[in-house]
């Protein structure tokens, strides 16, 4: 395909951070003096904070505004991000895109200030003209708003702007709304989710060493 722009998710796509997101909700529950269920992390990765919050409130007797819960979990992740690294060969692909004149931005569920600090710490913030987050548009990635926002930001055509994602719910959204999706393999994706991702994504990459397959 001809590429003029590229939209990247961050967690699980560019950086190997989903394991820390999986444990962060449980760590937060423990900070409240409660013991989390073993499946909390898996459900969090599948549903996200906003969608799992009603379940957390009921299960653990939490009567705290979601904004406060979110701040607590993000505080845990700020420390966790210091241990995270980018996925192998990411810089090789980003260098190639930059040399090709491809416009690039981030579209993440993580708030933009924290995402910028993480990407700067990892030495790849310079590749992206903007770091956009779901909070900017008011809805998560089960809706196309963030992707439309990023596309308008880049000013490129949808068919020339692949979106790089790792989550099955994001791939579903991209497929339903006519985006070109590039699914990145992540070790925290379940077997069932991986099968659906491979079926629905326009491209599936098990390693960034093979990114050039999307040019064919």
The whole-number pLDDT of residue 178 equals 97
> Which tens digit of pLDDT belongs to each residue from 2-48?
999 999 999 999 999 999 999 999 999 999 999 999 999 888 888 77
Would you state the pLDDT for residue 210? Answer: 93
200 within 8 A of 175, measured Cβ to Cβ: yes
Quickly state the pLDDT bin for 207 (edges 50, 70, 90): very high
- pTM of the entire predicted model: 0.92
Confidence of residue 164 (pLDDT cuts 50, 70, 90): very high
Alpha-carbon dihedral of residues 158, 15, 197, 161, nearest 10 degrees?
Answer: 10
Residue 45: what pLDDT? 84
Q: What is the pLDDT of residue 44?
A: 86
pLDDT band, residue 55 (cuts 50/70/90): confident
Fold of the domain built from segment(s) 5-17+85-215: Rossmann fold (3.40.50)
The gap from C-alpha 52 to its chain's centroid, in whole angstroms, comes to: 17
Angle in degrees, CA 92, 22, 34, rounded to 5: 155
Tell me the per-residue pLDDT of 82-138, one tens digit each, with 9 for 90 and over. 999 999 999 999 999 999 999 999 999 998 999 999 999 999 999 999 999 998 898
Query: Which CB contacts under 8 angstroms, 24+ apart, belong to 67-72?
Result: 69/28, 72/28, 72/31
């Amino acid at each position: 395909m001809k590429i003029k722009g590229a939209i990247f998710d961050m967690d699980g796509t560019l950086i190997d951070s989903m394991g820390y997101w999986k444990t962060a909700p449980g760590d937060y529950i423990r900070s409240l003096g409660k013991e989390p269920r073993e499946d909390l992390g898996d459900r969090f990765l599948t549903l996200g904070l906003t969608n799992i919050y009603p379940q957390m409130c009921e299960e653990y007797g939490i009567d705290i505004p979601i904004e406060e819960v979110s701040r607590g979990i993000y505080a845990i992740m700020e420390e966790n991000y210091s241990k995270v690294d980018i996925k192998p060969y990411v810089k090789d692909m980003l260098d190639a895109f930059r040399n090709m004149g491809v416009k690039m931005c981030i579209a993440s569920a993580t708030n933009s200030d924290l995402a910028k600090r993480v990407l700067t710490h990892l030495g790849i913030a310079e590749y992206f003209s903007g770091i956009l987050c779901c909070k900017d548009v008011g809805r998560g990635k089960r809706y196309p708003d963030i992707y439309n926002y990023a596309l308008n930001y880049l000013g490129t055509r949808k068919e020339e702007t692949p979106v790089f994602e790792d989550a099955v719910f994001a791939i579903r959204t991209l497929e339903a709304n006519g985006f070109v999706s590039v699914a990145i393999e992540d070790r925290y994706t379940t077997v069932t989710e991986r099968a659906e991702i491979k079926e629905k994504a326009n491209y599936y990459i098990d390693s960034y060493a093979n990114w050039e397959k999307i040019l064919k």
